[in-house]
Structure 1
Amino acid sequence: MATKTIPADRNHASMRIAMEMLAQSAELVGEAFFPELVRGVARSLGMKWVFLSRPSPIDESQAETLAVWNDGPAENLVYNLSGSPCEKVIGDGACCYPENITQTFPDDALLKSLGAESYVGIPLISSSGMVLGLIAAVSDHPIEDPVLAKDILALFSGRAASELERISTASANERLGRIVESSISEAYIFDGTNYRFELVNRGARENLGYSPEELRALTPWDLKPDYSADEFKKYVEPLKSGAVPFLEFETIHERKDGSHYNVSVRLQYFGAPDNVFFASIADITERKMAEERERLLMREVNHRAKNLLSIIQVIARQTDADDIEKYKKSFERRIMALASSHDLLVQAPARGIALHELVEAQLGHFADLFGGRIQISGEPISLKPNAAQSIGMVLHELATNAAKYGALSNGTGRIAIRWKSFVAENGKDKFELGWIEEGGPEVVAPEKRGFGSIVIEKSLQSSIRGEVDLRFAREGLRFHVECSLCSVKDELGVPSVHE
């Protein structure tokens, strides 16, 4: 093709049209800019077809258009890259074929269907150097000035690439954000200077009971009672200094209602320009409770085996022996009650159990003392399975101790078992349970803690985060536990006959 001389004023006019079109579309962003882009290229170059496209994310051998001009706005389409000039643009950079384009690319069905004569295209490059897509212009006439054609496409390509990159990044971020927001794991982002929460996902909000607005006024140590502000800042300092890439640890979280749950934390810090911490947190309450129960129950098996004969001896000694047949029936009834108590404790109920029933079951072998030497009182409450198991273990240990050494080891001692729920001064719902012995032998505090005391304290601390007070007062043993009501109460529990 012979080189033609293009009047300078025509070149200037084409470039001026391109710059005016860019200026007019300055306020358009993202997909709203693309239709104006193809219209501007078509007007500047005087070409019939212009399209903005990118490689298909589904099939790399194809491209999909984001905007098409065909003497006016046209529908988007998908076309084959293989054997096309667009494939050359993506692989080799800007290309211009001033004439005979269908002879140069005989396998390109799209060009043939358009009746194309010429083609010019330029890749759209991201800030990291990746090819995001391309702009191509096609005409049914030869291109008179290939240099001008590529220059005008280059004028549009920078803006097109930035908008395409913005869309791709926003789409990926939105997708990631939806995944994080919907995750059952807890995710937190908090500021690296004031440590206030900026983002907390739905899984964390639902578990904690706080709204997004409430959380933005809180810091990590507001949720972690194991840490003060100074302790937490000191703990994460290796992250901020870059000494370690992440921290992993286990602690507890406090919900809005005052209840607690165990968590496993993986914490990262992102410095300038972000200056934020990211925490991925898993609720491990069930795992920790299961581990603690397993340890306690395994030791309890041995402990109970040693105590069982002692309890049977106490039952035998306290059973009325005036009549042998009456003695046998009474003794058998108490032994069966003792067996029932063991079954109830070892087998965690599938649903909540009424506390009144639990108390009677654990002291069933002393049922004839109920209402007299053993006073039981408290509001109707159904316990969660883990709370029922732990409280049942404690009641058994207290009853065993009372029968061997305390108020039930003679004929005059008394026990009062009471519980209630109440609202604490901080406005949070609380639960307390007490066991008070009187009238038994004078109590002598043990020189060292036995396993029974360990069971009483550890089982309640691990399962319901209870504050336990166990005192060996001279006039009789005193036991008291206080915890958050929601840690023990089963809202779906079925009322018992006592309720």
Structure 2
Amino acid sequence: MPFPTAMTRERLGRIVEDAASEVYLFGAQDFQFRLVNKGARENLGYSVEELSTMTPWDLKPLISREAFLMLIEPLRSGDTARLDFETIHRRKDGTEYNVFVKLQMFDDGDDAIFYAAIQDITAHRQIEAALRATAMRLDAILENTTMAVFLMDERQHCIFMNKAAETLTGYTLGETAGRPLHDVIHHTHPDGSPFPISECAIDRAFPEKAGAQGEEVFVHKDGSFYPIAFTASPIHDEEAKIIGTIIEARDISVEKRNEEIRNLLMHEVDHRARNVLAIVQSITRLTRADSLEAYKEVLAGRFSALARAQTSLASRSWEGGWLKDVVTEELDALCPADSVHIEGPEVGLSPEQVQPLSMLLHELATNANKYGACRSGGLVSVTWRLDQNRVLLQWRESGGPPVLAPTRDGFGSSLKSSVVRQLKGTIARQWESTGLVVDIEFPI
């Protein structure tokens, strides 16, 4: 390209000097600056005199002389007419800024000169860096949150799913492409009937231009159904036009199960409370004694037995108990340890069996403590065995005072009926010369 004449150079110099961007002219042989316009000087902080002794690589901390010569070789050889590249300039005070360089070479045959038009892009790079940092933070949040996030376009096709969404649905983003997300994971009711997209509260957020939230049931890739809680919100562009929908969803299967468990537990607590109150009422009504003090004592003992049964059940989360534990707890409360013999295989009791059996054993232990073998150095032997699916338990007292059959029915007789009814078993009592023998039989 012909080099400008002297007059043209003068005019060009004035234009260049006042240009808004940074403009540099430097020789093709010595590479010293011939012209650095006002904008460049003010940004760099150097005077004309200082710049006249400097070369391009003096301003570029990332490019050495050798690297610069290699960079401009395509211009010198004529392989290209212009080079565009980004680099960093260093000011006189040591600060640096990003620049975009357009470099050309002019040659009129007598002399050659390089022309560089430079744009300060520091602000752009800072904005880009901030956007990248923001994008990285958002990506990290979306990829690490347990909330499933879907981004839908105006066709209600899914154009983004985070990791939690893929885990929730069993589908990858690629597997949902080309059709509405509703048709992939939300197309059928749990009863198998079709679920039209027109009836879908999630998808209505787009045509109705309003957010929606609630609970729904999704269909997993494996065909299973699972409940979810969702929020669907329309996405607006700069002109407030609806261009898509963002959907947040989370699996609430555990919450639903816990709710069912809570309801069941509340029902069970209510049932057990009513049952305990009925037992308390029955104990209070049926307890007999010769005096008020004796009545209080007997009543307190029976309530303690009931409390031990309740505590035993509660300690095992109301899942039942072991027969040996029930026997031991009642005898420990009323009989000396050296007057008790307990033996039998491991037998698990249901919650419904623990309470009546505890009450019955309490009555037997109370009688043994007041009138029987536990009172006078005798022995109470409680043994049991299994016969197919039935427990055969025997209470046998020996070595105590003589015993006589009661002359009237009392609380023990009522217990007999209670055991038969609640344990679905039988009870038989014999007042032998050596002591009381009680045989209890019930299924497990």
TM-score range, shorter chain: 0.3 to 0.5
Q: Which has the larger radius of gyration?
A: 2
Compare relative contact order (CA 8 Å, sep 6+) and give the higher one, 1 or 2.
1
Output the TM-score relative to the length of structure 2: 0.38
Output the TM-score relative to the length of structure 1: 0.35
